Amino acid sequence: GTTDIALNPTNTTLGFVGSKVVGSHEGEFEKLDGKVSFSGTDAASAKIEITVDTGSVKTDNEMFTNHLKDGDFFDVAAHPTATFRSTRITAGAKEGTHTVVGDLSIRGAAKQVTFPAKVYLDDKLFNAESEFVINRKDFGMVYPGKPDNLINDEVVIKISIQSKRI
């Protein structure tokens, strides 16, 4: 049979690091939900779905957090959620290393992304960790920043799923 595990902020963290000329900001999303489904212990059978509440974005700087919510970035009024759905997970050469392929949709722009992940699963448990880079401009976030403090197009995404034993 298939095992379904609900994903929520108690077992899933989704963070990011955005950088600019004079430094960087760390942030995360405080509200998300989704599920991972898998059969047995084969990671290739796993499907991951996550829906993120973009308005729950939180960073180390309140002004920056508020800026991320407006039209320059996530435009949460028009696009209150972002989603990720995996389409393929394949095992790598080393144990516990996998490649995840899926559709990431932010601001209504959907793009296929491929990233490495450390994945562990048994018949009741699914854990995954990844850190990878996306280009914010692929998702319509083209705000350049101030001329003397340009924002890097590349944003580091950090995801960790740590499900508990049922």
Instruction: Answer whether residue 27 shows pLDDT above 70.
Output: yes
Instruction: Answer whether residue 95 shows pLDDT above 90.
Output: no
- Whole-angstrom distance, CA of residue 161 vs CA of residue 151: 29
- Whole-angstrom distance, CA of residue 81 vs CA of residue 32: 9
User: Which sign does the torsion angle of CA 14, 135, 36, 160 carry?
Assistant: negative
Instruction: Answer whether residue 149 shows pLDDT above 90.
Output: no
Structure confidence by residue, pLDDT tens digits, 37-48: 999 888 888 999
Structure confidence by residue, pLDDT tens digits, 46-70: 999 999 999 999 999 999 999 999 9
H or E stretch at 2 = strand 2-7
- Kindly state the tokens that stand for 132: 């990878």
- What pLDDT is attached to residue 124? 83
- What pLDDT is attached to residue 94? 77
